[in-house]
Amino acid sequence: MSNFIIVSDASNCSFRDLLNTGKSLLASLICPTHWLISGSPMQLLKIQNHRLLRKSGMTITDKLSDPDHSTVVFLRAGDTLAPDALSLIEQHTDLHDVIYGDSAHGRARKFEEPSKARRPQWSPERLRSHNYVGDLLVASQSVVAAAGGISTLATLHEHDRSLRIFEVCTSPHRIADVLYHSSQERMVPTASLSAVQQHCTRTGIDAVCSISQELQSVRVSRRLHSQPKISVIVPTRGTAETIKGKQVVLAAHTIEALINNSTYQNFDVIAVLDSVTTSEGRQAIVDAGGSRLKIVDYDRPFNFAEKINLGAVCSDADLLLLLNDDTEIITPDALETLLGILEDQTVGMAGPMLLYEDMTIQSAGHILNPVPFDLYRERELTCTGAQRLLQVQREASGLIAACVLVKRSVFDEVGGLCTLFPSNYNDVDFGLKIQDAGYRVVWTPHAKFHHFESKTRTPKLQTFEVATIGARWRDKLEDDPYFNPHLERYIDIWKENVMGQRSVLDALGPTAPIASK
């Protein structure tokens, strides 16, 4: 049986709150051997002399050497440990050196279940944005020692502590069960700008970090160390549509907007044109692309994946921007933002927030539950999402291929887009192949493009494409690491699988305070 040391900082809590934490330790199915309370000698003395805790057999102290063969549990003073938490944790300590889990928060109304923060598996990019892992963190003694020791870690801001611990661990793990109970306001992850700045210094990330106090999230903007060439691949048939009240050739509009509005200019454009493209459409594309443009003709039956691959073959750039012909850049530095993400050697592909013409969300990355969905499609841009996941840069299991930046080396390594998916799921398959090869896929809200796809468009799913994606990736579709098994399936929002308005509000996030300002 594991020896558990509970570590709490009592500097900013009342005695009643600290006592509630202590009572939860006594109710635990496994009683901790030690409870280290830092930050308040007076609170410590009162707890040591409390009749219940004095007879518990648990050592309560403010000084503790780092003992061997112990598991350390950092628990915020005032929070309460779930009775079965240590039992659940003990089942994973042999294989994992850092563990975190879900949490329950407050009670909206007397007869309503408390809100629950359901968390994804390990997401290092997201942790730099905010402390999404929550206020309970479990670490092996060796990890604690490598991260600075119990005494140092006990007094740190929770975001700082999490970053330091995850920097030195080798096998992080999320337990998809409620491990602790906290207040309603702790549903929203906290963030520390100084903690992230120090983390970047320690790990060699050259970046400018800034914090949104309103959203409690940190933006890490990596500095570009080079200006690599990008090939923008635009598959098109020269279709003309009305955009913002003006009739345009879609591809020409997309290319012209990118050239005129992007602050990053080291790119060429490869337009892959179907044979049905009209002469007027072709000329408009030529006029828009000018000297940057290379036209590749495509005279086969429509296959989006094949057209992208053909464009890549005709490129000599180190980076490929896959760009639908019905898109438009919004944030001028979008390419720099995506390039900065790809400065990390562990990232293979990055994608922006995609918005409809009316500025509602078209895609905030994929979620597999088990059907692939674009997260928060048709929600207002003011929607923060559960635990503010729409406001932070984070890993995703996939990105819609309407706009993604991918390393050419990674594109070649995974074999490009699979031509067995001519219309649908080629981007889902592509993202999963990239992750299967050991690279991360990152979505960011800090770069935005329009995607003028119709809201009423219903994808014409082909039976063979559905069968192929299921046969290839059934395990990943059923167990998306950036999902949680307690969430409702077959929907495009992060909603717990329970009835009631409370779970809907938790899924959408605190939109009113932001929208009203």
Residue 64's pLDDT is what?
A: 76
DSSP string spanning 12-66?
TS-HHHHHHHHHHHHTSSS--SEEEEES-HHHHHHHHT-HHHHTS--EEES----
Evaluated on CA atoms 360, 362, 368, 370, the torsion sign reads positive
Strands, DSSP E only, in 305-346? Answer: 319-323, 327-329
Amino acid identity at 264: Y
Contacts of residue 431, Cβ cutoff 8 Å, sequence gap at least 6: 349, 366, 396, 397, 398, 399, 441
What is the per-residue pLDDT across 490-504, written as a single tens digit (0 to 9) for each? 999 999 999 888 889
Residue 447's pLDDT is what?
A: 98
Q: How far is the C-alpha of 85 from the C-alpha of 72, rounded, in Å?
A: 13
Q: Are 71 and 5 in contact (CB under 8 A)?
A: yes
CA-angle at 417, arms to 411 and 418, nearest 5°: 135
Q: What length is written for the chain?
A: 517
What is the per-residue pLDDT across 79-129, written as a single tens digit (0 to 9) for each? 999 999 999 999 999 999 999 999 999 865 566 678 999 999 999 999 999
- On the question of a common fold for 3-221 and 230-508, the answer reads yes
User: Could you tell me the fold of the domain covering 3-221?
Assistant: Spore Coat Polysaccharide Biosynthesis Protein SpsA; Chain A (3.90.550)
What 3 state SS string does 260-309 have? HHCCCCCEEEEEEEECCCCHHHHHHHHHHHHHHEEEEEECCCCCHHHHHH
Mean pLDDT of the chain: 93
- Six token digits for residue 348: 């293979």
Residue 19's pLDDT is what?
A: 96
Q: How far is the C-alpha of 507 from the C-alpha of 503, rounded, in Å?
A: 6
Domain boundaries, the chain: 3-221, 230-508
Residue 516's pLDDT is what?
A: 32
Enumerate residue ranges in the chain where pLDDT < 70: 1, 65-68, 107-112, 455-459, 511-517
CATH 3.20.20.70 fits 230-508, yes or no: no
Q: How far is the C-alpha of 222 from the C-alpha of 344, rounded, in Å?
A: 9
The neighbouring-strand residues paired with 2 are none
- Six token digits for residue 492: 């495009």
N-term to C-term CA, the chain: 53
The pairing of beta strand 246-249 with beta strand 319-323: unpaired
- Residue 159: HSE in the Cβ half-sphere, 13 Å Cα cutoff: 23
